Homo-oligomer: A and B are copies of this chain.
Amino acid sequence: MPPFPRDEVEAIYRRIQRSIRPAGVAGLGAEDLSGSFGDLYQACLAVLAPCGQVELNTAIANKEYFAFERDGRISRAVNNDLHAADVSGGWAEFVHALHSKNFGALTAEDVTRTLYSVAISFCAVIDLTRRGDQKTPGTFFEWLVGHLFAVQLGVVPTTRLPVLNLDMETTLPTDFTFDLGPGRPKFHLPVKTSTRERVIQVWAHQRVLDGVYGTGRFIGTPVILAETKTDRQTRDVVEICLPEQWRIYQMHIAQLRRVYYPDPPEAYIRLNEVFPPVHVRPFGDFFHEFDELVA
């Protein structure tokens, strides 16, 4: 077998990093990043193409998962229907729609599938090449989602907000926030590859923003890649979900406007149908319902 061809993935990742770093997270607004993420996606697909695919078992309704395999290691679970390895052209179409602010030619499902595929491909490459590295996929996914929001919203994010509260004068570190300007909403964008019991932080940060700046000023729209967990022995995939706790957090801590997932967990999608609902949506919906969110 030829040596594992991951060098190009690393090189493009470093190029994205060098392009963002000088400006801090404001660097996520650079238009040409869209092209770099496309290059990275292509390089990841090229790395994964010769890898084996192992079917995984799951009891989740309407979902099938597999894992990439190379040299006896397997990647995280990849959703069969959402991963479109043969349609990497989907990224070019998505970028065209994003930059021209016209999603008329793409369905929300197309967008969700493309973004899932871009994200999971990179994560799978890292899973196969760097044992135990959870940080690089997390950083990559933050950059990707931060960039997409920056282009869609037309403003760059920040991760620090001033607090002027009577005799208190300090700054508050935050997840990505985007300020659309006076009299318009601001976005609060936590980005995670999965949440599990740490998710309470997302609601707590929303509560702090509501408390410090006023309820309703920040639209909370966390984006989470997936909640799958694979047992490497049995090859069973489950989704680790805490839907009853999410309802309690939404009632008692703060209100998140949406929770977006490229691969939405079954148990959370059902939260759209209880009262009061938690609005959990496929990530592609964001680009189609954006006008409604900021109205």
Indicate how many identical chains form the complex.
2
CB of A249 within 8 Å of the partner chain = yes
Of the four ranges (under 10, 10 to 19, 20 to 34, 35 or more), the interface on chain A belongs to 20 to 34
Most buried by B among A163, A211, A252: A252
Contact yes or no, A207 B207, CB < 8 A: yes
CB of A201 within 8 Å of the partner chain = yes
Selected from B198, B211, B247, B253, the residue in CB contact (under 8 A) with A168 is B247
CB of A294 within 8 Å of the partner chain = no
Complex CA distance for A6 and B236, rounded to whole angstroms: 38
CB of A205 within 8 Å of the partner chain = yes
Complex: chain B residue closest to A168, CB-CB: B247
Complex CA distance for A244 and B164, rounded to whole angstroms: 12
Contact yes or no, B208 A252, CB < 8 A: yes
CB of A5 within 8 Å of the partner chain = no
A294, chain B: closest CB distance, angstroms: 25
Which A residues form the contact surface with B (CB < 8 A)?
Answer: 163, 168, 170, 172-173, 197-198, 200-201, 203-205, 207-208, 210-212, 244-245, 247-249, 251-253
